[in-house]
Structure 1
Amino acid sequence: MLPTPKRFTLVAGSGEGNTPLTAFDSALLNAGAGNLNLIKVSSILPPQAQYDPNLSIPPGSIVPTAFGAISSSKPGEIITAAVAVGIPEEDTFGVIMEHSGHYPKDEIEKQIKNMVMEASSFRGIPLREIKIAAAEQKVKSCASVFAGLLLWY
Structure 2
Amino acid sequence: MLPTPTKYTLVAGAGEGQTPLNAFDRALLESGAGNVNLIRVSSILPPGARYVETLPLPPGALVPVAYGAIKSSTPGDRIAAAVAVGIPEQGFGVIMEYSGYNYREEAERIIRQMVEEAFAMRGMEIKTYMVKAVEHRVQKAGAAFAGLLMWY
What is the TM-score of this pair, normalised by structure 2? Answer: 0.98
Q: Deviations over 1:85-118 (max 9, x none)?
A: 001122x001000010001110110110110011
Give the C-alpha shift of residue 54 in structure 1: 2.0
Checking the alignment, whether the CA contact within 8 Å between 1:79 and 1:139 is kept in structure 2 is yes
Q: What's the Cα RMSD here?
A: 0.7
Aligned counterparts, 1:52-67, within 5 A: 52-67=52-67
Aligned counterparts, 1:55-134, within 5 A: 55-90=55-90, 92-134=91-133
Give the gaps of 5 or more residues in structure 2.
none
Q: Which runs of 4+ in 1 moved over 2 A?
A: none
Q: Percent identity at matched positions?
A: 59
Q: Distance in 2 between matches of 1:114 and 1:129?
A: 15
Checking the alignment, whether the CA contact within 8 Å between 1:94 and 1:120 is kept in structure 2 is no
Give the gaps of 5 or more residues in structure 1.
none
Q: Which residue of 1 aligns with 2:144?
A: 145
The count of aligned residue pairs is: 152
Q: Distance in 1 between matches of 2:29 and 2:126?
A: 31
Q: Which residue of 2 aligns with 1:31?
A: 31
What is the TM-score of this pair, normalised by structure 1? Answer: 0.97
